[in-house]
A and B are shown apart, each in its own frame.
Chain A
Amino acid sequence: MALRSTDVLTQTPQGLYCPLGDFHIDPVRPVKRALITHGHSDHARSGHNAVLATGETLRIMDVRYGEDFAGRKQEAPLGESMRLGDVSVRFTPAGHVLGSAQISIEAGGTRVVVSGDYKRAEDPTCLPYELVPCDVFITEATFGLPVFRHPDARAEIRKLLESVALFPERTHILGAYALGKAQRVMALLREEGYDRPIHLHGAMERLTEFYKSEGISLGATPKVMASERSKLAGAIVICPPSSMQDLWSRRFPDPVTCFASGWMRVRARARQKGVELPLVISDHSDWDDLCRTIRETGAGEVWVTHGQEDALVHWCTTHGIKARPLHMLGYGDEGEAEDAPQSGGEA
């Protein structure tokens, strides 16, 4: 007899839990054994007894929390099945950020895929998303409304470069999340032929150095010194979104405030943050890719973890797919306390 999906995976206050394998996935509180999809701080927290994740994700956690962030660390090789209790587990690239993975769990002929955060768009800084057919697909819905369609990220980068050419006496200050988005933007700038130094806010430095140590070339990325801020006319400076318009940004010459985020698709969002050059670049799936991915997995049942759950659940239902929202708390707030949009930060 085939197992019910809830035998394979259930929801607990700590997060998603697999009773047959006795582990949690991306738990928001310390647990005995955690499987972690990717290194963003809302998914990868410290303090678990044992952590299983890709090598890159473990090293990102080392950088962020120090090497003793968990009692035991185990690397999950991509594409290889592992036995955990009564289930078989496999990590597959999710295309979200460096090291990000989907986790599939199989037991008794039922396969459940926890996709974590994922995108289908191309990204020079991480492995591309790989489709895993399954019975139950667990998806995020950060951009789960049909108004969110991400354009080609390269065209957005060209917008930035055109602005730099038109306003050579001003500093372009670009807000980008410190893990993933910032490095993707740097890599795209290089691919578009920008070869001048890309200046970094101090908070960007460690993770950018880490990306470089993983073999991703980002060119010269000097840290901005307080004394030289006023001399950076014509430069591109990348900082965390919370610093875009804070006291830190004041010393730059007549800055142009830029922000790379999927939220920038909606004008009121961009305006509310005082952004002058919004760049719609996201590390999440847009609406079309959420729908396409659900279809392609062939899943008969979809659980929506966080984001704009209602619209995606509505779409699934009208397309003959069983779906339910999990309304999970604690996701979508990676470290952007002050200026995070109300319904989620990491985007």
Chain B
Amino acid sequence: MNRFAALLDRLAYEPRRNAKLRLIMDYFRHTPDPERGYALAAMTHALMFKEAKPGLIRGLAEERTDPELFRMSYHYVGDLAETVALIWPAPGHESVAPASPETPPIGHNNPPPHVPTLTEVVETLATTSKSDLPAKVAGWLDALDETGRWALLKLITRELRVGVSARLAKTAVAQLGGIEPDEVELIWHGLEAPYEDLFAWVEGRGPKPESGNPAPFRPPMLSHPLEEEDFEKLDAADFLAEWKWDGIRLQAVSGHDSHGRPVRRIYSRTGEDVSRAFPDLVEALNFEGAIDGELLIVRDGLVQSFNVLQQRLNRKAVTPKLIAEFPAHLRVYDVLTEGAEDLRDLPFAERRKRLEALVARLGDPRIDLSPMVPFRTWEDLAAARANPASAGAGPDADAIEGCMVKRASSPYLPGRPKGYWYKWKRDPYLVDAVMMYGQRGHGKRSSFYSDYTFGVWREGPNGEELVPVGKAYHGFTDEELVKLDRYVRNHTVKRFGPVREVEYGKDRGLVLEVAFEGLQRSTRHKSGVAMRFPRISRIRWDKPAAEADRIETLEKILERGEKEIHPLKEQET
């Protein structure tokens, strides 16, 4: 457990992906089976046990500590698991214990507590009853040090949060043996913790594990953004186009296990099994094969906006009411397998025909085709992209964020291969805002003020004021970052830890042109709006702060929905 705790501790502070990868690989290299396998399971959210509730942990701490000292400590640290990890007193430890004569000090001749391995913790959690759990956890806490206790508490509450995706952990395993991460992905869902067969394979000590999974995840094919200069090189006749729907990319797989029982799974783009969140969609998977599509919410035949979709996501309990109000819908793009047949080597145009036939056979309103957008020249497509409503999308145009342009001959390849698929996104909204705060970045940018909070004008109780509407930390070049950093340092009026407030007002301040994908109402923001994907598109060194946009501009975008493609750009020119 101590090595695993040390790994989590390092990962939690390390912002760089490659450094994280190296830390995980180093751990795998120096940790034996089955311990490292359970660590892999923890990082890929594959551990099967009922998580401990915060109440249990708080209860344990309150039995052992003076309530006033605990209160002050929790107030200072701000995180329950961390507070308990730090304050946890060894048995008989007097400096934290409540000063009560009823707590007899425990003798010093007891043997030192046994430090559990991660394997022991995981195996015990899987078999321990709810009533025995507190005593078990207390025993482990006694044996571990501060970092060990922190890791244990994060593990058992399923709140690891060390910035490691399942994909990154699998990549680390793959790189142990110089294997492509997608190869691990392909067999992943047939494997179980502690993955001894997987480690044996990547280390060249055993055969490639069979994917015993009747409904495995296959890494999806991704696209590149289409740049202005690409059009000259690409012949429109070689390509097909369809809408880019503003939902969540999913893979739906349906098969049969060895007893002939149906197995249906829905995976996220990264291979996470999200079937439990969409029982209504799972029910509709009456086919044998794997299809690729976009999750949308469709009400009365109309695709709802991403804002509506968000209300269906991240809910712990999927109630019948939620399903009725936010019915899940799959709009399909591609078919990967059908029956025992792997279609991924076929050209896109042929797969599309197979897909059309499959969807027609299904005849389920919850699963439909993403329609193709006919075009002859790039100009045709540009026109369609600028006005999807009149190019066939009709009232669903609100949920379209551009076009997908796919080479008709493209096979279905995992990852982001070059030259096959392109996304041609709708132009973003633009707004001129005034920089209000700069914050230090992370990793390579930790010496730069690289995250900027910006605001627009509004009529406040004391006259015109700037109200923050968002924060952006990309969109600028490295040279621009150096200039922005210098600007923040030279115009600081207040400092709050890593944040600096800069000068702003009618007659001073820096205007930033901010591009964003959409807006939604938010009660968490002072301005009442939240931006999707804001980034700095231009630094307006020339523009006086007084001429920046007003909150009414954003209000108008909200009211109009996302019907117009680039309203602000038109306004400006």
Interface residues of A in 264-287 (CB under 8 A from B): 265-268, 270-278, 287
How many B residues touch A, CB cutoff 8 Å?
A: 42
Distance between Cα atoms of A275 and B14 in the complex (Å): 9
Within 8 A of B (CB), among A301-326: 308, 310-311, 314-315, 318-319
B446 contacts A167, CB within 8 Å?
A: no
Size category, A interface:
35 or more
User: Beyond A315-B95, A318-B66, is A274–B83 a contact (Cβ under 8 Å)?
Assistant: no
Contacts of B146 in A (CB 8 A): 149, 151, 265
Indicate if the CB atoms of B73 and A146 lie closer than 8 Å. Answer: yes
Do A310 and B446 have beta carbons less than 8 Å apart?
A: no
Contact indicator A167/B22 (Cβ below 8 Å): yes
* A257: B residues at CB distance < 8 A: 446
B69 within 8 A of A: yes
Kindly report which residue of chain A lies nearest to residue B22, judged by CB atoms. A166
Interface string of B437-470 (1 = CB under 8 A from A): 0001011101100000000000000000000000
If A146-B73, A151-B145, A291-B94 touch, does A267 touch B99 (CB 8 Å cutoff)? Answer: no
Evaluate contact between B82 and A266: CB separation under 8 angstroms.
Answer: yes
Interface flag for B364 (CB, 8 Å): no
Option from A246, A266, A288 in Cβ contact (under 8 Å) with B76? A266
Q: Digit string of B10-27 for contact with A (CB within 8 Å is 1, else 0)?
A: 101111000100110010
* B382: interface (CB < 8 Å): no
Given the interface pairs A270-B13, A318-B66, the reply to whether A245 lies near B440 with Cβ below 8 Å is yes
Q: Does B193 contact A (CB under 8 A)?
A: no
**CA gap between A249 and B83 in the complex, in Å:** 33
For residue B443, which residues in chain A have a CB less than 8 angstroms away from its CB? 276
Among the listed A151, A159, A249, A268, which residue makes an inter-chain contact with B79, where contact means beta carbons less than 8 Å apart? Answer: A268
Q: How far is the CA of A245 from the CA of B498 in the complex (A)?
A: 11
A212 within 8 A of B: no
Query: Shortest CB–CB separation between residue B484 and chain A, in angstroms?
Result: 14
Cα distance, A315 to B93, chains bound together (Å): 13
Q: A247 — nearest CB in chain B belongs to which residue? A: B447
Residue of B15, B26, B86 contacting most chain A CB atoms (<10 Å): B86
Q: Which residues of B contact A315 (CB under 8 A)?
A: 66, 69, 95
Q: Quick one: given A151-B146, A250-B447, are A146 and B495 in contact (CB under 8 Å)?
A: no
22 example contacts (A-B, Cβ-Cβ < 8 A) are as follows A147-B87, A151-B145, A166-B22, A166-B23, A167-B19, A167-B22, A245-B447, A249-B447, A257-B446, A265-B146, A267-B79, A267-B82, A272-B498, A274-B442, A274-B446, A274-B498, A276-B13, A276-B15, A277-B13, A308-B76, A310-B72, A318-B99
Binding site for B on A (CB under 8 A): 145-149, 151, 159, 163, 166-167, 245-247, 249-250, 254, 257, 265-268, 270-278, 287-288, 291-292, 308, 310-311, 314-315, 318-319, 338
Q: Which 3 A-B pairs have the closest CB atoms?
A: A147-B86, A291-B95, A318-B99
